[in-house]
């Protein structure tokens, strides 16, 4: 069991929350009072790579940039599909909006190669945003 202390006063069990003590109410956790050295955010950043640019959910521009980067420096196809699926799914934060509906996301399992993926994304970005020509090819 891992324990996280809040200002060295209130022990917190990561799985169950605040451990009961008789010292009164705990201050609200904030980055400045958690005494954490760091934390992992890989899943959150995978679902919204534009998080630190101020977006509450993944924008289409992030998918476009990712696909441009894949074209310039190829990745294994299965890894590309996984990343795009995560970016098009509901986010990990408060904003649970998704770029594609669940029904649209099921099509990812039917896509056989990179060309089909690009065609699919071209179709969907045009359908959802009205951007003619699909994904932008240059940034």
Number of compact structural domains in the chain: 1
3 confidence band (pLDDT: 50, 70, 90): low
Inside any domain, residue 99: yes
- Percent share of the chain, pLDDT over 70: 75
Residue 138 domain flag:
no
Q: Is the separation of the CB atoms in 44 and 92 below 8 Å?
A: yes
The pTM of the full predicted model, rounded to 2 decimals, is 0.69
β 10-13/17-18 pair status = antiparallel
Range of the structural domain that residue 97 is part of:
42-129
Q: For 54-88, what is each residue's pLDDT tens digit?
A: 888 999 999 999 999 999 999 999 999 999 999 99
Is 111:40 a contact under the CB 8 Å cutoff? no
Give the H or E element holding residue 61. helix 60-72
Read off the pLDDT of each residue in 99-123 and give the average, rounded to a whole number: 96
Q: Tens of pLDDT along 22-43?
A: 566 667 767 677 776 766 678 8
Is 116 domain-assigned?
yes
């Amino acid at each position: 069991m891992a324990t996280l202390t809040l200002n060295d006063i209130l022990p917190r069990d990561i799985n169950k929350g605040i451990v009961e003590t008789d010292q009164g109410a705990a201050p609200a956790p904030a980055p400045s009072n958690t005494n954490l050295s760091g934390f992992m955010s890989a899943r959150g950043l995978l679902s919204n790579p534009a998080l630190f640019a101020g977006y509450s959910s993944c924008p289409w521009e992030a998918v476009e940039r990712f696909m441009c980067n894949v074209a310039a420096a190829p990745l294994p196809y299965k890894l590309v599909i996984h990343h795009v699926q995560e970016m098009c799914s509901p986010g990990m934060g408060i904003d649970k909006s998704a770029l594609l509906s669940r029904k649209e996301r099921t099509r990812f399992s039917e896509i056989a190669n990179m060309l089909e993926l690009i065609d699919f994304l071209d179709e969907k970005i045009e359908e959802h945003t009205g951007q003619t020509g699909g994904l932008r090819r240059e940034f």
